[in-house]
Amino acid sequence: MIKGTKKVIVLGGGLTGLSAAYRLSQQGVSVTVIEERPRLGGIAASIKYGKYIFDYGPHRFHTKNLSQLEEIKTLMQDKLNILYRKSSIRLMGKYFVCPLEIKNLLLNMGPLKSTQAFLDYVFTITMNKLVTQPDSSFENWVVNRFGRTLYNIYFGPYTEKLWGIHPARISTDWASQRIALMNLWDVAIRLLIKKDDTPRTYETKFYYPYFGSGEFSDKFAEKIELNNGVIHTQAEVVALNWEGNSVDEVVFIRDGCESREKADYIISTIPITKLILMSKPLLQSTLVKSAMRLKYRGIVFLFLVTRKKELTDNHWIYCPEKELIFNRLSEPKNFSDKMVVNNTTSICIEISCNQGDHIWMASKDEIFKFAMDSLKRMDFMDESDVLDFFIDKLPDAYPIYELGYEDNIENLISFLHSSANLITAGRQGLFRYGNMDHAIDMGFLAAQYLLNGDGDKSRLFDIANKKDYFG
């Protein structure tokens, strides 16, 4: 519990770090935020490019936490668009409604393939009632619920494309949190009968700032600085010096100069692997081994400014087909028309890769060529439609839920929870995929822990850790 004048250093200026610093600064706590990149917001940041604004992929804010919702509305002064999600999956040259709708699914797949998928589904469900099949991987989880045909058509290819490893090597945690908990019977029934117990799968309403998702972070930052907090950008944390079970000093590089700062408490939202590996003195080998086994997936983003007025009416489109280099594209204009110049549109393209692979190392022009080949295949546009383009990269965008990751992350979390003055939180900090509302919840909870000594640190790990859908 914070008593008297205390200083807190927050590592990472994403939504979790900023929401924690915001809450602490409201209570008069001295806070310093250290962010490696030039802009705040992490993967939920926005990029201003001339008169255009881009997000790092599509983002939507929705929450069942009414107190959080009201606080965000107040923070944003109610300058939020209210939108209803529209997204599609491109398969076999056609566009399927996402989440899946049975009528659209059957019409697009055609009688032969749809009959095969339905019979496979019925057979799978029937066999599982007779003999329960184990959910030992993402692949098993999907096949046990949808059948092998739908797995082979969509779930398997998209997942392998996104993560770069076979779905048999991915934990069921990814499936339970990112695939709607429904079955084809349920979809059909909901088309015919309106039910009151609508699951989150079908809650399409969301909120979006006028000028990009990064406005959430910008507003947090404004309040932090008004409350005398300090925010450093383009500052890389390079070491944590420990004294006993406490972090004594944070070492970071900014403008080519090394700085050292002491704090009473540390909230870290940087990748937990980096947090462990930069800690000094050298930690026990089991922790280092666990950190080395955990991997993050990177993304190369291609941002296009086009002369087209509209590309699609979708917020985003999933692209599982191998012939298309990107796994998802989104159109900022469909989130807010304030993000583009009149009578034009822009596109964000996401290409999943690993840091250092051929995609990651490709030049700006090579990335553009790869993407244009795919866009022409989709009959969306060609080079003559593009007015300008640029790329950006995020090396630690998504934690990879590879089989066995649970034991490794538990090993690291157990050590960090034993620290007297350090909290790790957020997507990268807890190796826990989540949405924007989860990130903000984690930040508020971390601040609450320091302010009130409320509960224990393990409560942070409970956020976005349930076996239910939050896609």
Whether residue 119 is found in the same domain as residue 194: yes
Q: How far apart are alpha carbons 93 and 90 in whole angstroms?
A: 6
Q: How far apart are alpha carbons 352 and 63 in whole angstroms?
A: 27
Q: How far apart are alpha carbons 27 and 5 in whole angstroms?
A: 11
Whether residue 105 is found in the same domain as residue 180: yes
Q: Minimal CA–CA distance to 54: which of 359, 430, 330, 322? A: 330
Looking at the DSSP bridge assignments, the partners of residue 465 are: none
Whether residue 307 is found in the same domain as residue 363: yes
pLDDT for the residue 92: 87
Whether residue 300 is found in the same domain as residue 395: yes
Residue 76 lies in a domain: no
pLDDT for the residue 191: 42
pLDDT for the residue 192: 45
Domain boundary among 357, 377, 399: 399
Residue 309 lies in a domain: yes
Q: How far apart are alpha carbons 209 and 271 in whole angstroms?
A: 27
pLDDT for the residue 45: 97
Whether residue 411 is found in the same domain as residue 343: no
Whether residue 280 is found in the same domain as residue 365: no
Whether residue 300 is found in the same domain as residue 290: no
Asked if the model's pLDDT at residue 200 lies above 70, the reply is no
Long-range pairs of 182-188 with CB within 8 A, sequence gap ≥ 24: 182/99, 183/121, 183/125, 183/145, 183/146, 184/102, 184/118, 184/121, 184/146, 187/100, 187/101, 187/102, 188/102
Which residues lie below 8 Å from residue 176, measured CB to CB, with a gap of 6+? 141, 467, 468, 469
What phi and psi, each to the nearest 5 degrees, are found at residue 60? -140, 135
Residue 49 lies in a domain: no
Asked if the model's pLDDT at residue 79 lies above 60, the reply is yes
Domain extent for 456: 7-41+212-294+402-462
Assign 76 a pLDDT band (cuts: 50, 70, 90): very high
Whether residue 354 is found in the same domain as residue 391: yes
Q: What is the pTM of this model?
A: 0.91
Residue 406 lies in a domain: yes
Whether residue 374 is found in the same domain as residue 430: no
Assign 283 a pLDDT band (cuts: 50, 70, 90): low
Residue 93 lies in a domain: no
- How many structural domains is the chain composed of? 3
Chain mean pLDDT for the chain: 89
3-state secondary structure of 90: strand
Domain boundary among 201, 227, 250: 201
Measured between alpha carbons, how far apart are the two ends of the chain, in Å? 35
Whether residue 409 is found in the same domain as residue 290: yes
**Mean pLDDT value of segment 447-471:** 68
Q: Which two tokens stand for residue 52?
A: 């255009």
DSSP string of 277-312, one letter each residue: HTEESPPPHHHHHHHHH--EEEEEEEEEEES-S-S-
**Mean pLDDT value of segment 25-47:** 97
Q: The tokens 């056609």 sit on which residue?
A: 94
Residue 54 lies in a domain: no
**Mean pLDDT value of segment 8-19:** 98
pLDDT tens track for 362-401: 999 999 999 999 999 999 999 999 999 999 999 999 999 9
Whether residue 186 is found in the same domain as residue 229: no
**Mean pLDDT value of segment 197-215:** 78
Torsion of the alpha carbons at 123, 125, 130 and 134, rounded to the nearest 10: 110
pLDDT for the residue 113: 85
Whether residue 21 is found in the same domain as residue 116: no
pLDDT higher at 190 or 353: 353
Assign 132 a pLDDT band (cuts: 50, 70, 90): confident
Residue 48 lies in a domain: no
Domain boundary among 399, 425, 446: 399
Q: Provide the CATH number for the domain around residue 337.
A: 3.90.660.10
pLDDT tens track for 42-71: 999 999 999 999 999 999 999 989 999 999
Distance of CA 81 to the CA centre of its chain: 21
Residue 63 lies in a domain: no
